[in-house]
Amino acid sequence: MTLKEALNRATSALAAHHISDASHDIQLLLRHVLQITQAQLYLQLEEELAPPEWERFSSLLERRLQHEPVAYLVCHQEFFGLDFYVDRRVLIPRPETELLVEMTLDFARSHSAGRPLIIADIGTGSGAIAISLATNLINARICATDLSIQALEVAAINRARHGVDDRVVLLAGNLLEPLPETADLIVANLPYVSAIELQRTGPELAFEPSVALAGGPDGLESIRLLLHQAHELRQPRRCLLLEIGQGQSEEVLRLARNHFPEADIQAHRDPGGIERVVGIAFPG
Ligand SMILES: C[S@@+](CC[C@H](N)C(=O)[O-])C[C@H]1O[C@@H](n2cnc3c(N)ncnc32)[C@H](O)[C@@H]1O
């Protein structure tokens, strides 16, 4: 069978299972098996696919037909222009989270005054946020925490891949508890999917760790606890940035204002117009 025939056959199989982006997904899987670029794929369309390659391709196709996300099949995902290793131990980093990184970089650059900053990334997962910050802020030290030891194993792979082992510390534990010192900035993308939403979501989310998604009855369990801990532990010194889900800004703003009446607290919209980040800037 030629590459072109394999592509056509597999794309039809995915489309028959109502999987959107069938053609895009199949090209990614075939390129992954053959370890070739998009341009090479086009140039080699009439070449034969060897039996072992067809076998590997078929087994990935079978998993995709079961709705396993492509990022887990090819073991990587791009985030903030960097390539991250991912597998089922971690949430697949989402494009909407890039806003959190951009806002943290803006705040860090305008407030560091040349001093090395200490930044905490709470619920680091694959390490996508922590490592994007470390590669863009060469003076910053990042403490990245997660409750999941398995997620921290993946973050360690990515930390080594991007050469920031010396500036990203990985710490296991509940939210802010493992932090060894007061951070200047805290950034967190915690689980915020409500119980009802979780039931309604498509089959792909079932492959991601539930500890990365499930935020309790209204989705805000982890965020509530984080705000409580931040208040009790007097963290951070300068600014706390939280990613939130659609429709959660009103309640998160209310909680934040209760805990920190002296702070400047605002919700920020993502490019799709959804209030996606709540920023809490402390005076001084
Ligand atoms: C939505 S995922 C975000 C992962 C990554 N920061 C990203 O943006 O792609 C939430 C992460 O928080 C972690 N987590 C959940 N509850 C936690 C807790 N109480 N303390 C620390 N980490 C927690 C999960 O294991 C998961 O890795």
pLDDT tops 80 at residue 284 = no
Q: Say yes or no: 25 and 155 in one domain.
A: no
- pLDDT at residue number 257: 98
Q: Which pair of tokens denotes residue 158?
A: 């990515």
Q: Report if residue 79 sits inside a domain.
A: no
Q: Say yes or no: 178 and 259 in one domain.
A: yes
Q: Are 86 and 68 in contact (CB under 8 A)?
A: no
Q: Report if residue 72 sits inside a domain.
A: no
- DSSP for 95-107, please give it: GGGHHHHHHHHHH
Cα–ligand 1 centroid distance for 214 (angstroms)? 10
Cα–ligand 1 centroid distance for 190 (angstroms)? 5
Nearest CA to ligand 1 atom 4: 125
Nearest CA to ligand 1 atom 11: 123
Q: Which of 19, 50, 66 is the last residue of a domain?
A: 66
Q: Say yes or no: 234 and 119 in one domain.
A: yes
User: What is the domain range of residue 131?
Assistant: 91-281
Q: Say yes or no: 241 and 118 in one domain.
A: yes
Q: Report if residue 155 sits inside a domain.
A: yes
Q: Say yes or no: 54 and 170 in one domain.
A: no
Q: What's the CATH code of the domain at 160?
A: 3.40.50.150
Q: Which pair of tokens denotes residue 174?
A: 């509940």
User: Measured from the CB, is residue 152 less than 6 Å from ligand 1?
Assistant: no
Cα–ligand 1 centroid distance for 184 (angstroms)? 20
Nearest CA to ligand 1 atom 17: 147
Residue 154 CA, chain-centre distance (Å), reads: 12
CA 237 – CA 256 distance, rounded (Å) = 15
- pLDDT at residue number 246: 95
User: Measured from the CB, is residue 191 less than 6 Å from ligand 1?
Assistant: yes
- pLDDT at residue number 116: 87
Write the pLDDT tens digit of every residue in 17-61.
888 889 999 999 999 999 999 999 999 999 999 999 999 999 999
CA 200 – CA 24 distance, rounded (Å) = 25
Q: Say yes or no: 10 and 113 in one domain.
A: no
Q: Say yes or no: 109 and 249 in one domain.
A: yes
Cα–ligand 1 centroid distance for 266 (angstroms)? 23
pLDDT tops 90 at residue 112 = no
Write the pLDDT tens digit of every residue in 100-111.
999 999 999 988
Q: Say yes or no: 170 and 219 in one domain.
A: yes
User: Measured from the CB, is residue 8 less than 6 Å from ligand 1?
Assistant: no
Cα–ligand 1 centroid distance for 121 (angstroms)? 9
Q: Say yes or no: 102 and 58 in one domain.
A: no
CA 189 – CA 222 distance, rounded (Å) = 10
Residue of 164, 171, 148 lying closest to 91 (CA atoms): 148
Q: Which of 26, 49, 66 is the last residue of a domain?
A: 66
Q: How many domains does the chain have?
A: 2
Q: Say yes or no: 56 and 100 in one domain.
A: no
In what helix (H) or strand (E) does residue 24 lie, and over which residues does it extend? helix 22-34
Q: Report if residue 20 sits inside a domain.
A: yes
Write the pLDDT tens digit of every residue in 119-169.
999 999 999 999 999 999 999 999 999 999 999 999 999 999 999 999 999
Average of per-residue pLDDT across 248-258? 98
Q: Say yes or no: 19 and 142 in one domain.
A: no
User: Measured from the CB, is residue 188 less than 6 Å from ligand 1?
Assistant: no
Q: Report if residue 82 sits inside a domain.
A: no
